[in-house]
Structure formats: structure tokens, C-alpha cells
Chain A
């Protein structure tokens, strides 16, 4: 499941695979990867009456708010993780390389140690992918599929040659 962000298919597949593995191991209801602005990148699982897009945006806001708390207590970097305990559902948020966050929503019957352990493993795997993604975003032209450039050139050439032919006839 992807958002509006343009990502190469292989990178997206790898992210999906890591999130699916995390969801399987932790039996989480829902696992999301979002960027720090709250834009949803990928999700696995579905919770009843939960909109993943809204959840991603809210958790990003939550992370941003606690970054200020970290600063207030003289932490040099934002907190790496946040954990919210509910009556029926818990949520575990983890920073991925500073620009992304991983959200794991799970039932209270799932042990926190299990979620923490496998989330840490997933973050380890996601960090290099996040760096790759950031590099792609830094070069917007490169993020567009190479075939798109070729197709555009062909179409433009065709359009202009038609236009030139029309002009000559006139």
C-alpha cells in the first residue's frame, strides 16, 4: 500500500516485506511507515475504524511534540521511541533515521518486549532504505522513471513535427 509519494517499486517492495514481517512477528493490528511530516508511505494490516492516513499524521505530530520535550530536558536528539498504553490497544512509535517513523498498533495481550525487539530489528533494516529514499527525494528528477523522460521526448518530437508539417502546408 503506497501513498502519493513516488518510490521505485523494488524499494517499496522491500519496505512492504519488512513491515509485513514485523506485523506477522508481533501480531500487530496495524504497522505503518510515515515520513516525519506525517505522510503515509506504507502500511500493513488494517484496524477497524482506523484511518491509517490520519493515524500517520497524528503520530508524526506526536513525535514532533515530544522532540520539544526532549530539547527541554537537554537531550541532543529527539526521542527514539514513544509508547502509549491503552485499555485495549497500545501504540509504539519508533524513529527511523530521523526523517521517518514506524508505527505499531497492537492489542494489549501482545507483550511489549516482543514489539520492542522486532521493531528494533525492523528499524535496523529500514534505516538504509530510508537513506536511499531520502537520496531519491533530494534529486526529484531522478525519482521519475527513466522511461518517462524517453516517452516525453518522443511525444514532444511527434507533436512538434506534426505542428511543423501543418505550418508548412499553411
Chain B
């Protein structure tokens, strides 16, 4: 569904990853999204003015904390970590592995908005963009 709607013309000056984030933000009315590497470096960000360096470092830190929790509590692979603030805005971190590289997709989701289907779509698109 998302594929058909959003295989639009490439957005000028953006990498394929940035395009995916941009379209995801548009569809979900998300405030911002960041694709980061496991070591906390930003790979892509939308909007481009967003402080990607800090966001990527923070989501990588969350990833390390969740890994620690998983190890200590003998849990399975972590799928998602979410932080709610008092205004019900969520920071959602989804984890994925592409071509042996661990990546983190982090999204700022406004209150009362669904993110799961859109982030699933974005993760598939990121994988596809990687292969191109």
C-alpha cells in the first residue's frame, strides 16, 4: 500500500535513505526520524535540519542499554524501545540488520499516532535502498 503511494519521483539532493525517512515522516506526520549506525553515527535524517549527531548518539545509547537488559534478563532479540514523555510524544527505536550491519531507525511520534506499519514499511524500503 505504502509502496504504491510513495514510489514517487526521487527528491532532489537526498540520499535514498533520506527519501525513505522523509516519506515516512510525511505519511505518519512524525516530527523527525533518524537512521543511525550501531556505533551511534547518523546515516540519514529527516528533516535535514534536525540535530542528527545527538539523536544518533542517544538512540545508540538506548540500544546499548536495551542490549544490557536483554542479556541480564535473558530476553530474546529486542524489537523496539519506546520512551514516552509527559506530552505523550514517543521516541520509538526500531532495530534492524542489513547486510550484517546493525542499524537503528528512530522516530519521534506525536500523541495518538500509529507508527508500527509505517516503520515496518520504512525498514523494508531501507533494506531495498541498501541493495540498489
Contacts and interface: CB of A to CB of B under 8 A. Distances in A.
A143 to B, nearest CB: 33
Contacts of B35: 113
Interface string A118-162: 001100000000000000000000000000000000000000000
B44 A111 contact: yes
Given A27-B15, A116-B37, A117-B37, A111 B101 contact: no
A71 to B, nearest CB: 25
B56 A113 contact: yes
Given A27-B15, A121-B99, A113 B37 contact: yes
B48 A109 contact: yes
A114 B48 contact: no
Interface-central residue, B37, B44, B48, B52, by most chain A CB under 10 Å: B37
A112 interface: yes
B107 to A, nearest CB: 17
Chain A contact residues: over half helix, strand or loop, or mixed? helix
A117 B101 CA distance: 8
Interface string B8-28: 000000010100000000000
B42 A113 contact: yes
Contacts of A111: 41-45, 52
A61 B80 CA distance: 45
Nearest to A21: B132
Interface string A81-122: 000000000000000000000000000011111101100110
Contacts of A116: 37, 41
B88 to A, nearest CB: 29
Nearest to A111: B42
A114 B99 contact: no
Contacts of A110: 15
5 pairs of A and B residues whose beta carbons are closest in the complex? A113-B41, A113-B43, A111-B42, A113-B37, A114-B43
15 contacts: A25-B15, A27-B15, A111-B41, A111-B43, A111-B45, A113-B35, A113-B36, A113-B43, A114-B15, A114-B17, A114-B43, A116-B37, A117-B43, A120-B101, A121-B101
